[in-house]
Structures are given as C-alpha cells and as structure tokens.
C-alpha cells in the first residue's frame, strides 16, 4: 500500500463555500480519481493554505505528493498562496515525486523560479482542446497512452508564462502554451499539467454552478440562460453514449467521457511511483 500526501489547494473559505453548496472540494475530487486508479492507496490530505497545517506523517514517509486545483492565484503574495509554495519546496527538498494539476503546475513553476500570469486570451473554460505533445512529451512517461492530439477537462484564467530553468515542456495547444511540463525542484522532479485529469463532467457542472456569475457576459456565455443550458448538457452527457446528440453538441469524445482515458496522467504517475 502506497501512502500519498495530497495538498488541497483551496482556502478554508472556499472549502466552506463548497460544503454550503453541497459540492466536493478539489481534494475530494482528486481522492476519488486516484482511488479509481488504485483503490489500495492510503491518501492523507494536507490543507496547505491553512496556518499551522501539518500532515499526519512527515513528508519522508510518503511515496508521493499531489497538488489539487484552486481558485487562488500563484502570483498573489498572500499567506494562503505562499504557505502552499513553501510546502512544495519542503516536499521537493525531501525528494518526493510531485504531481500537480492546474494550480499544482502553477505553484510548482513559481516555487522553481518561473512565472504565472493572468491572461484571458489564454483562459480555458470546461475543456482544453487539441492538446498536442511536444517531441519531448511523446517520449515522456507522463503522456504514455495519450493520442497525438487530445482534449481534457480544464478551467483556468491564469497560466504559466515562464517555466523555471531546466524545465521541459511536454504539451501545448493553441490557447495555452504550457499544458504539461516537468519542473526540477530541490531533490525532486514535478510533473504538472494545466488541465484536470481528475475532473469529470458532474464536477465541471458544479464549478459552473458555483462560479457561473463570473462567466456570464464575458467571452464564455452571453447570458445566464446559455450557461444554465450548458450545465444541463454536461449533466446529461455524463450518462450519455458517445454518439448521443448532447455529446456532439458539446464537441467532446471518449477522451472526456471515458474515465480511464481521462485519468491517463494520474495512472502514469502512479506507475512511476512503482518503478
């Protein structure tokens, strides 16, 4: 049995808001996805944004460290952010393998001396389309079994604008140049993706419901009715066959609908721990 330390990226107010809405936290979503790949994992959750937070064991007693998503911004000099960056550095100095999604990739980049910026031209809402592995990505175990171009659940306004020295870019698309990368940190190497292999369609629907007002009237949805229709489609598609009209309407395929394909990077990282 492998012990995994998972850092919940959300602040306490964000977790309380999710509980009030009856929604999963980002850590709960990640735990569910990891256990779908290996039900024998022992996963401890670290609330890294919280003052004084500590894991049940010291970092050296874990096989790996996972960082969930978050609505925080890696460039903000606030305790909820800087505490988590400090945890990344501490875990890296302990030599733990690291996997980060979205926020996880971004704070690994900052921890290593890179940069993260907000740029709405690079924002992706719901799905990252046509992600293409680089030459380095084609040969890297993080993307083993990925197609030559694929879609993935994704939601972000911020993006990695500069990778740290020594990093290797593994995948890009036309919307966001850094979709996957490996980043050297301390005695470790972080594997990170800008998308969310741990997300499923019901969780995307929850995010739209929770933060929908921020998405209306901008580049994503002209009206609340359009957003509500999209949320309904996501929930229907979660139970639909791949040839269903709603699936066509959303422009998605098995790389989104099939959990085994969607979680490819999680499975590959867990295999990496077993080597």
Q: Write down the H helix ranges in the chain.
A: 12-20, 26-37, 79-93, 103-111, 135-138, 201-215, 224-237, 245-250, 254-257, 259-262, 264-274
List, in order, residues 6 or more apart from 112 with CB less than 8 Å away: 164, 165, 167, 183, 184, 185, 190
Q: Is 196 a catalytic residue?
A: yes
Three-class secondary structure of residue 49 per DSSP: coil
Closest by CA position to 253, among listed 240, 266, 235? 240
Q: Which of 124, 198, 206, 265 is catalytic?
A: 198
HEC-encoded secondary structure of 156-196:
ECEEEEECCCCCEEEEECCCCCCCEEEEEECCEEEEEECCC
CA 139 – CA 144 distance, rounded (Å): 8
Q: Is 102 a catalytic residue?
A: yes
Q: Which of 122, 156, 159, 196 is catalytic?
A: 196
Three-class secondary structure of residue 11 per DSSP: coil
How many CB atoms within 10 Å of residue 13?
A: 10
The structure tokens 């959303």 sit at 250
DSSP 79-114: HHHHHHHHHHHHHHHTT--EEEETHHHHHHHHHTT-
Strand partners, 98: 65, 190
Query: Which residues are tagged catalytic?
Result: 102, 196, 198
């Amino acid at each position: 049995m492998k012990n995994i330390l998972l850092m919940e990226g959300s602040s306490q107010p964000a977790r309380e808001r999710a509980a009030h809405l009856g929604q999963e936290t980002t850590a709960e979503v990640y735990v569910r996805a990891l256990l779908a790949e290996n039900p024998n994992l022992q996963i401890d959750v670290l609330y890294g944004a919280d003052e004084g937070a500590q894991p049940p064991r010291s970092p050296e007693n874990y096989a790996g460290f996972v960082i969930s998503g978050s609505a925080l911004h890696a460039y903000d000099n606030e305790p909820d952010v800087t505490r988590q960056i400090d945890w990344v550095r501490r875990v890296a100095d302990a030599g733990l393998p690291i996997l980060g999604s979205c926020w996880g990739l971004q704070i690994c980049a900052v921890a290593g001396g890179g940069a993260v910026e907000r740029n709405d031209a690079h924002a992706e809402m719901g799905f990252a389309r046509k992600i293409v592995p680089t030459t380095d990505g084609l040969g890297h175990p993080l993307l083993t079994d990925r197609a030559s171009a694929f879609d993935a659940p994704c939601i972000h306004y911020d993006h990695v604008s500069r990778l740290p020295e020594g990093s290797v870019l593994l995948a890009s698309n036309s919307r966001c140049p850094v979709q996957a990368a490996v980043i050297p940190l301390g005695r470790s190497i972080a594997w990170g993706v800008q998308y969310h292999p741990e997300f499923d369609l019901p969780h995307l629907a929850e995010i739209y419901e929770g933060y929908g007002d921020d998405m209306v009237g901008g580049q994503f949805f002209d009206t609340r009715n359009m957003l509500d229709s999209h949320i309904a489609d996501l929930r229907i598609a979660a139970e639909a066959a791949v040839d269903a009209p709603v699936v066509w309407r959303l422009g998605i395929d098995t790389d989104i609908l099939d959990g085994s394909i969607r979680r490819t990077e999680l499975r590959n990282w867990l295999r990496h721990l077993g080597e």
